[in-house]
Amino acid sequence: MAVAHGSRDPRAAVTVAALLDRVRLARPEVPVRVAYLDHCAPDLGRALGGLEEAVVLPLLLTEAYHSRVDLPAALNEARAREPRLRVRYGGTLGPHPLLLTALERRLGEAGVPAGDPSTAVVLVSAGSSDARANAMIAEMARVWRRSGWWTVTPAYASAASPTPAEAVASLRRAGAARVVVAPYLLAPGHFADKVRRDTLAAGASVVADVLGPAPELVDVLLERYTAARREPVPLAG
């Protein structure tokens, strides 16, 4: 049971469906279902209806409020309605080293060579009110700098600073020959569109595509599935 955040933008659900189709191709013996926390159907309670056992995996890129509070609460409600339901809860997609590989894949598809020493990268996440989630993005940027880039700077589309446009402008003032943007976002939607628009206006040369159904995400999701079956993440409440 893969649980996505959900969006009013129909492109988001299409992207989630494409990712899960690739999961089904990789593991055809594993039944794959989807649920959403908001904006889309089915919600988690409805998706779990009638099941006696499920491995629930958050399609979330950081450990923040949704994975720590919203999803466990929805699961506890579902278990209260379905006493026979056995749930194994898995970890979020990120952090994971393969996600940096996926980010470099998207930059490469946009014409940016991996680890180009003349290129500065702005790593953009959605942002969170949870400081731990934002710190994880900053740590990802720190690790990614080792790949040879001029630098890698974290930025946040909401709830934290710097904004993506501020990060681009700061790097240009610092003398970066080229600034590119790597969205650490699962699917197209409001944030992805705003990041593209604002960072290009601020002077970014390239804005890569969102992660979407990248093969690395398929591998991470299946790794989380295997880990959850072996040792589930503790479920609050």
Reduced to 3 states, what is the DSSP secondary structure of residue 182? strand
Has residue 105 got a pLDDT over 80? yes
Question: pLDDT tier at 64 (50, 70, 90 boundaries)?
Answer: confident
Reduced to 3 states, what is the DSSP secondary structure of residue 40? coil
Q: Give the mean pLDDT of 1-22.
A: 97
Packing angle, helices 10-26 and 215-230, rounded to 10: 70
Q: Which two tokens stand for residue 206?
A: 């390239």
Has residue 93 got a pLDDT over 90? yes
With a threshold of 0.75, does the pTM exceed it? yes
The confidence score (pLDDT) of residue 72 equals 85
Select from 59, 32, 60, 62 the least CA-distant residue to 47: 32
